[in-house]
C-alpha cells in the first residue's frame, strides 16, 4: 500500500481500523496487468492526488494485487480492505471501517466474489458512492478469464458505440427483441425514465461495472417471452453457469415474471424463489442493451456476460437514483440471452447478435 498523508488528514484511520493486508506484498500473474491498467488508467482515470478505496476478498486477492500495483504506479494514496479480515461472510452489513473510508475517497474499486444474501451490503456501499459521487468500479465476480478478455477491451471504442446506441434509444417509444431460440420481447419505454450509458468509462455521475459496455433504463412495461440461454445473475450465476444446453424460459406480462420453465428443476425453483423475495422482486427494473463488441460469446459469468452484445433484463431494483424510477426492491437479478435481433421503433440495430451500427 502506498504511503498515506500524515495523521492530520481527516481520513487517516486508527490502528484498530487500518487495513490489515498489504496488497503490494502479494505476487500476481503479469497477465493480469493489461486489464488492471485498463481499469485504473482508462476506465477510472485515477490521478495521483486522489484517494482510492479498494475492497476485495480472499478469492480475489491476486486480481486486487494487480490493481493495487497500477494504483502505486499512478502514485495515489489508497486503502485496501479484505472483507474476511473484518467480518464473517456472507455479510449482513458492509463493515463500518470500509464505509467510513469510502466517505473520503474520490475513487473506489469493489473486486469481490458474490455470496448469497449480500446484496444489502453492496447497496450500503453504492449509497455512499452515489451520495459522494465517487468514481466507482463495480467488479463483482471478477476472475482471471474476465481480466484476460473483457477487461482488455478497447473501452474508448465501446464508449463510441454505446453513445450511438444511447442516442437512438433515448428518442424511442418501443424496443422489440427476438432470437432464433424463441425470445420475443417488447419493451414500451417510459419517457420519464432516463437511459444510462455505462461503457467502461466511469464518471462521478454514474458508477459502473467493469468490464463495461451497456446502456440501460427502467422500462415502462415489458411483455413477451425471454429464453435465457446465456446466464442468470447474482449468486445463481456461479451455481448454474452457462445455460446454453438447458435454458430457462420465462414469460413476462405487465412487467412481471408470471412463468418460468426449465428442464433443470433446481434452476427453475431457485429463480422463482429469488424473483419472489419481496413485492417488486418479480418486476422488470432494468432493460439493457449490451455494447461490448470485444466479447465473442457468453462465458457463464454475469459481470462480463451482461455486456455481451444483445438484450438483457433484470428483475428487481431499478437503480432509481440513476433511471428516475421511484419504486424499490431489495433484490436484482439479470438474465442474458444470445444472438438477438433488435428493433428500436422501426429501425433494426442488431441482426443475429451483430450491431448494424458502426462504432
First to last CA, the chain: 38
Mean residue pLDDT across the chain: 93
Give yes or no for a contact between 159 and 203, defined as CB atoms under 8 angstroms apart. no
Residue 9 has pLDDT above 60, yes or no: no
Bridge-based pairing of strands 135-140 and 107-112 is: parallel
Residue 16 has pLDDT above 60, yes or no: no
Question: Grid coordinates standing for 133?
Answer: 459521487
Give yes or no for a contact between 329 and 323, defined as CB atoms under 8 angstroms apart. no
Euclidean distance between CA atoms 289 and 355, whole angstroms: 11
- Taking residues 185-203, report their average pLDDT: 96
Cβ within 8 Å of residue 86, ≥6 positions away: 95, 97, 98
pLDDT of residue 3: 36
Question: Grid coordinates standing for 254?
Answer: 405487465
pLDDT of residue 21: 79
Q: With H, G, I as helix, E, B as strand and everything else as coil, classify residue 128.
A: helix
> 13: pLDDT confidence band, cut at 50, 70 and 90?
very low
pLDDT of residue 17: 60
Nearest Cα residue to 59 out of 19, 18, 102, 115: 115
Overall pTM > 0.75: yes
pLDDT digits (tens, 9 = 90+) for 69-125: 999 999 999 999 999 999 999 999 999 999 999 999 999 999 999 898 898 999 999
pLDDT digits (tens, 9 = 90+) for 128-143: 999 999 999 999 999 9
Give yes or no for a contact between 175 and 169, defined as CB atoms under 8 angstroms apart. yes
Q: Tell me the CA distances in angstroms from 234 to 247, 311, 315, 317, one per residue in order.
A: 17, 17, 11, 13
The sign of the torsion formed by the CA atoms of 51, 35, 44, 203 equals negative
pLDDT digits (tens, 9 = 90+) for 339-352: 999 999 999 999 99
Residue 12 has pLDDT above 90, yes or no: no
Nearest Cα residue to 341 out of 310, 297, 312, 313: 310
pLDDT of residue 114: 87
Euclidean distance between CA atoms 267 and 295, whole angstroms: 26
Contacts 24+ apart (CB under 8 A), 163-170: 163/197, 163/199, 164/357, 164/358, 164/359, 165/215, 165/289, 165/291, 165/349, 165/355, 165/357, 166/195, 166/197, 166/215, 168/344, 168/347, 168/349, 168/357, 169/195, 169/215, 169/217, 169/289, 169/344, 170/195
- Taking residues 6-16, report their average pLDDT: 37
User: Cell 478505496 belongs to which residue?
Assistant: 53
Q: Phi/psi at 233 (nearest 5 deg)?
A: -95, -160
Amino acid at each position: 500500500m502506498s504511503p498515506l498523508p500524515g495523521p492530520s488528514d481527516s481520513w487517516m484511520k486508527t490502528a484498530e481500523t487500518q487495513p490489515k493486508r498489504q496488497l503490494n506484498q502479494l505476487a500476481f500473474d503479469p497477465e493480469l496487468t493489461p486489464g488492471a491498467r485498463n481499469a485504473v488508467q482508462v476506465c477510472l482515470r485515477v490521478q495521483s492526488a486522489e484517494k482510492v478505496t479498494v475492497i476485495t476478498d480472499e478469492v480475489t486477492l491476486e486480481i486486487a494485487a494487480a490493481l493495487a500495483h497500477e494504483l502505486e504506479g499512478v502514485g495515489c494514496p489508497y486503502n485496501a480492505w479484505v472483507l474476511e479480515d473484518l467480518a464473517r461472510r456472507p455479510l449482513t452489513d458492509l463493515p463500518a471501517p470500509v464505509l467510513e473510508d469510502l466517505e473520503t475517497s474520490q475513487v473506489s474499486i469493489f473486486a469481490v466474489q458474490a455470496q448469497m444474501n449480500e446484496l444489502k451490503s453492496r447497496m450500503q456501499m453504492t449509497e455512499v458512492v452515489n451520495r459522494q459521487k465517487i468514481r466507482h468500479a463495480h467488479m463483482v465476480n471478477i476472475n482471471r478469464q474476465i481480466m484476460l478478455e473483457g477487461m482488455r477491451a478497447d473501452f474508448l471504442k465501446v464508449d463510441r458505440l454505446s453513445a450511438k446506441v444511447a442516442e437512438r434509444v433515448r428518442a424511442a417509444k418501443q424496443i422489440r427483441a427476438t432470437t432464433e431460440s424463441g425470445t420475443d420481447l417488447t419493451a414500451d419505454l417510459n419517457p420519464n425514465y432516463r437511459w444510462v450509458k455505462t461503457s467502461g468509462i466511469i464518471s462521478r455521475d454514474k458508477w459502473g461495472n467493469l468490464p463495461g459496455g451497456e446502456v440501460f433504463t427502467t422500462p415502462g412495461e415489458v411483455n413477451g417471452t425471454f429464453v435465457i440461454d446465456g446466464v442468470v445473475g447474482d449468486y445463481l450465476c456461479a451455481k448454474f453457469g452457462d445455460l446454453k444446453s438447458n435454458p430457462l424460459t420465462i414469460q413476462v406480462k405487465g412487467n412481471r415474471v408470471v412463468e418460468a420453465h426449465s428442464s433443470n428443476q433446481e434452476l427453475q425453483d431457485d429463480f422463482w424463489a429469488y424473483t419472489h423475495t419481496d413485492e417488486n422482486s418479480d418486476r422488470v427494473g432494468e432493460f439493457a442493451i449490451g455494447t461490448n463488441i470485444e466479447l465473442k460469446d457468453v462465458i457463464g459469468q454475469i459481470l462480463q456476460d451482461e455486456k455481451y452484445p444483445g438484450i438483457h433484463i433484470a428483475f428487481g431494483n431499478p437503480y432509481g437514483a440513476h433511471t428516475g424510477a421511484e419504486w424499490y426492491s431489495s433484490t436484482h437479478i439479470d438474465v442474458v440471452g444470445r444472438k438477438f435481433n433488435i428493433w428500436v421503433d422501426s429501425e433494426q440495430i442488431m441482426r443475429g447478435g451483430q450491431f448494424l451500427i458502426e462504432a
